[in-house]
Structure 1
Amino acid sequence: MHLLFLLPITTLVALVGARPASQSLTPTLSQVYETTDTIPLPNIGNLQVHDPNVVFWDDHYYLFKGGWHVPYFKAANMSGPWTQVGTVLDGESVIHQGNRSRPWAPTTVERNGTFYCYYTLSTHGSRNSAIGIATSTKLDGSPWKDHGAVIRTGEGNGSDVWPFTISNAIDASFIRDNATGKAYLNYGSYWHDIWQIPLTDDWLSIESPAKPDAVQLSFIPGQTFRPEEGSWMSYHDGYYYVWFSHGKCCSFDVRGFPVRGDEYNIRVGRSRTVRGPFVDRDGKLLLDGGGTIVYASNHGLVYAPGGLGVMPGNSSTPDILYYHYLNTSIGFTDEQAQLGYNYLKYDNGWPTVLDGIAIKSSAATISRLPGWWSLMILSGLWLCMLS
């Protein structure tokens, strides 16, 4: 049960005002941007990032992001400050496919002191893609070992095997069966949406590569445009949750803006088993185009949130949904995407985003302000800025 309490108004204003000016949420209104206030504002991560992945290790947060050689950062708190530790790759990937110098969408997991980083090589609008894997026993900037490709689509070894003949090898995520410990890789995007394949015991390759035991997790039937990608799978209280980004992503400054609501938003479905089938809150199969929206553009400030992950909580901290988003007061280039995060609660087993600004008490209990307090304070600050 989360503790709710009120602080003096001066303390609340100080909390909001402590955000760096370059990262402030300054209201901007447009016909393009969703101005709803029914969706909570994010907690600000104070880092420019695209497709973030966060690992909690040794009392610190380590954030991996798409970029040159897969950079990663360290912080004592999700809100930073973040310090770059190093990069996963020393140079170009050993995989001769896609953009070898600037991989996308890393996902890093740990087992017995070894870290496994799955990364994507591709180009926009292409299915000529690969998911690679690198390992390390340290998160201190030491060199990682690049093991090469786990799967390929479009071209290369194994790309002629179903379902790699129809899917797109990008946006890897990782899950273990809570009962058996079996590891699975989730991946995919627009072409035939999201898939899952079992990994070998060493997590470096897929089982039965000539005939993989693949299952499809999501699909939009009856359409040629199927904007689902960036999957993540989490586990909570007996359910496996498939999260994904739905809608148009990226380069809005070049490609223009889609119709309101067609930009990135974060959706989810759940199942009692790791292999599905998964349904949304209305009971619609994800394979039939289902998916419950958990987070989307809001307040005229937050635009196209996606590229998400979910970090499991503990006895004092709820699960955390983190993602990148565009702050409409900063800009719309991919390089201007910001780190945001929200704590989660579960309503009859369905994840929802907590309202208000999350803070931690001296008793290490995550607390939150009622939504009307947060909105009142932000509105007051806005009025002060305009005066």
Structure 2
Amino acid sequence: MYSRGLLPLLLSALISLVVATPVSHLDPTLSRVFDTTDKLPLPNQGNLRAHDPNILQYNGSFYLFKGGPHVPFFKATDLSGPWTKIGTVLDGDSVIHMGNRSRPWAPTTIERDGTFYCYYTLSWSGSRTSAIGVATTTTLDGSPWTDHGAMIHTGHGPGSQVWPFTITNAIDASFITDNSTGKSYLNYGSFWHDIWQLPLSDDLLSIENPKDPDAVQLTFIPHEKIKPEEGSWMSYHDGYYYAWFSHGQCCRFNEGFPARGMEYSIRVGRSRNVRGPFVDKENQLLLDGGGTIVYASNHGKVYAPGGIGVLAGNDTTPDILYYHYLNTSIGFTDADAHLGWNVLKHSDGWPFVVDGIVSTDSGAMEYLPNCFYLTMLMFSWLYIWS
């Protein structure tokens, strides 16, 4: 048996986990750059370094894809890991001869009728010469994928002279299917004219009518020279489609920090129609610079969250918002980005993040508030140490 004299120390340590440090006790210099608000919850830890993570829930497991050499992907039975590397999407460099073909960015992987489709980005930082490619497989066991090459080019390459590829940037692909019609769409875009949507062909390997695509714009900042909206995602909940995006500066913080609040934050608008128009909580069009902030820098610890995705829940499990973020005590390069996630709730049809965990059992998610979880942990420890 362990000494009961250790019990007060254990309780003290546990209380320190439950009670957040008041903002007033943080280093006052932090507030000059890092937002110290405690109105947003801290992330649940994904325990994996990842920039622009993408998570697919399939057959009782979570599969995480991230930018990196040949698009690495990992497997876990819980969102907090441990994550086991399974392999890479590409066997070598992309067949698209453009940009970072050995280290694609921002993958999005979906499953349809037993086939997995991974949409990935090739580009260079600050360049509009970009492409979105696609690779497929029928198994997630590390077997080779088939690289089908580019779906769209901007700046240079086949089809780049077709509108809207003449004005947009082909990065950060995401995917959505219309619940009513079954039609699937590709969302993409960045600082150049922000975020757009294109209908996909039935095979999901190309866009529909590439010489005259039925493109619609989803977000735009009309009166600013710099238009920092990218990293789109689209989700569906209770009759609404939600257009998510990252707003602000994502990277290069080693060269200096932007003004407070100008770093990445996660924003959203909604529409009854998958093609929009989308409005924010204040009824401002996303095409007119709107976007409700759902998650942003907080506690002086979490900085520039973005690169988002949403795992859809159901009648008994919650939606999950996941993203990458920088820990101010660790570093500010892409390699320092960590996976974080929070439970999403809705009020009057608008999503917000809450403090809580998700326990997983063969992929089944169950929401528990952190206070409940820590209380159960405390009683468990009391029993063990008694």
Asked if Structure 1 and Structure 2 have the same fold, meaning a TM-score greater than 0.5 normalized by the shorter chain, the answer is: yes
Cα offset for 1:192? Answer: 0.2
The residue matched to 1:37 in structure 2 has which SS?
coil
Which position in structure 1 is the counterpart of 2:269? 269
Amino acid in the other structure paired with 1:247: G
CA distance in 2, matches of 1:317, 1:14: 28
Which position in structure 2 is the counterpart of 1:319? 319
CA distance in 2, matches of 1:62, 1:361: 14
Cα offset for 1:243? Answer: 0.1
Contact 2:60 2:77 in 1 (8 A): yes
CA distance in 2, matches of 1:79, 1:12: 22
Cα offset for 1:369? Answer: 3.4
Which position in structure 2 is the counterpart of 1:57? 58
The residue matched to 1:72 in structure 2 has which SS?
strand
Contact 2:190 2:230 in 1 (8 A): yes
Which position in structure 1 is the counterpart of 2:33? 32
Cα offset for 1:177? Answer: 0.3
Which position in structure 2 is the counterpart of 1:304? 304
Higher gyration radius (CA): 2
Amino acid in the other structure paired with 1:257: F
CA distance in 1, matches of 2:365, 2:66: 28
Amino acid in the other structure paired with 1:303: Y
Contact 1:116 1:136 in 2 (8 A): yes
The residue matched to 2:241 in structure 1 has which SS?
strand
2:350 paired with 1:350? yes
The residue matched to 1:184 in structure 2 has which SS?
strand
Contact 1:361 1:367 in 2 (8 A): no
Which position in structure 2 is the counterpart of 1:258? 258
Cα offset for 1:316? Answer: 3.0
Which position in structure 2 is the counterpart of 1:185? 186
Which position in structure 2 is the counterpart of 1:153? 154
42-51 or 27-36, which moves further after superposition? 27-36
Give the alignment's TM-score, normalised by structure 1: 0.88
> Deviation per CA, 1:200-259, whole angstroms, max 9, x where unpaired?
000000111110000000000011100000000000000000000000011211x21000
CA distance in 2, matches of 1:150, 1:291: 28
CA distance in 1, matches of 2:65, 2:15: 30
Which position in structure 2 is the counterpart of 1:23? none
C-alpha change, 1:71 and 1:41, in structure 2 (3 Å) is: same
1:124-273 to structure 2, matched below 5 A, reads 124-253=125-254, 255-273=255-273
Cα offset for 1:187? Answer: 0.1
Percentage of pairs with the same residue: 68
157-166 or 30-39, which moves further after superposition? 30-39
Which position in structure 2 is the counterpart of 1:13? 14
CA distance in 2, matches of 1:172, 1:106: 7
Amino acid in the other structure paired with 1:41: L
> Deviation per CA, 1:183-208, whole angstroms, max 9, x where unpaired?
00000000100000000000000111
C-alpha change, 1:73 and 1:11, in structure 2 (3 Å) is: farther
Amino acid in the other structure paired with 1:102: R
Contact 1:70 1:88 in 2 (8 A): yes
Which position in structure 1 is the counterpart of 2:330? 330
C-alpha change, 1:170 and 1:368, in structure 2 (3 Å) is: same
Contact 2:53 2:65 in 1 (8 A): yes
> Deviation per CA, 1:73-92, whole angstroms, max 9, x where unpaired?
00010000001000000010
Contact 2:358 2:365 in 1 (8 A): no
Contact 2:343 2:358 in 1 (8 A): no
CA distance in 2, matches of 1:361, 1:120: 31
Gaps of 5+ in 1: 1-8, 18-26, 378-387
Count of aligned residue pairs for this structure pair: 355
Cα offset for 1:12? Answer: 9.5
CA distance in 2, matches of 1:281, 1:114: 37
CA distance in 2, matches of 1:165, 1:56: 35
Give the alignment's TM-score, normalised by structure 2: 0.88
CA distance in 2, matches of 1:266, 1:370: 25
C-alpha change, 1:192 and 1:142, in structure 2 (3 Å) is: same
Gaps of 5+ in 2: 1-9, 19-25, 379-386
